[in-house]
Amino acid sequence: MSDMERFMRKVERPANDDDCWIWRGARTHAGYGRCMVIGKPNATTAHRVSFELFRGPIPYGHFVLHRCDNPSCVNPAHLFTGDHAANMLDMVEKGRSHSPRLKGERHGRARLTEAQVIEIRAVGARYGWREKRLARHFGIPSTLAWSALHNWQHVIPGAPAAD
């Protein structure tokens, strides 16, 4: 039996091909179908298999996303590919993120203030210091100094602090 035949045996395909094709095999805790493919050692998600069977190879580093936002859907007409950024944007636009997109001080795990980030950047720029030297100077881990330099893009010196 071919991969296509094995795959379609576990798909509930409605009369109208515009509707979702529902995967009736094994599923992940999030509702995505799981299946094995001949010649591959590990199970993969059913929507990725559907995309490959009906549309062709998935570009390297891409995810297969659902237009319908139904994790158990394997209708190839509902599937498209996108990189990590596209996948995250799709999640936020469809309201599936578990928390609001909080930045800087408003993020629950923030360990710096915007004023500290501005000061770290200013000292780094003034003396040409990199993360390790800044970390020693400010008494913080080097990963935190790196974060101040690279992860706080919304912080602009001289701008009012975010509400």
Q: What is the pLDDT of residues 7-27, one digit of tens each?
A: 999 999 999 989 999 999 999
What does the pLDDT average to over 105-126?
86
The fold for domain 3-93 equals Homing Intron 3 (I-Ppo) Encoded Endonuclease; Chain A (3.90.75)
Is the Cα torsion angle 98, 27, 89, 83 positive or negative in sign?
positive
pLDDT tens-place string over residues 52-84: 999 999 999 999 999 998 999 999 999 999 999
Confidence of residue 38 (pLDDT cuts 50, 70, 90): confident
Measured between alpha carbons, how far is 44 from 57 in angstroms, rounded to an integer?
14
DSSP one-letter string for 50-112: HHHHHT-PPPTT-EEEESS--TTB--GGGEEEE-HHHHHHHHHHTT--SS----GGGSTT--S
* pLDDT at residue number 94: 82
Rounded (5°) CA angle 131-137-140 = 65
Is the separation of the CB atoms in 103 and 112 below 8 Å?
A: no
- Average pLDDT of the chain is 87
Is the per-residue pLDDT at 122 higher than 50? yes
Which of 24, 163, 40 shows the shortest CA–CA distance to 104?
163
Is the per-residue pLDDT at 113 higher than 50? yes
Confidence of residue 102 (pLDDT cuts 50, 70, 90): low
Q: Which residue has the higher pLDDT, 98 or 53?
A: 53
Is the separation of the CB atoms in 62 and 81 below 8 Å?
A: yes
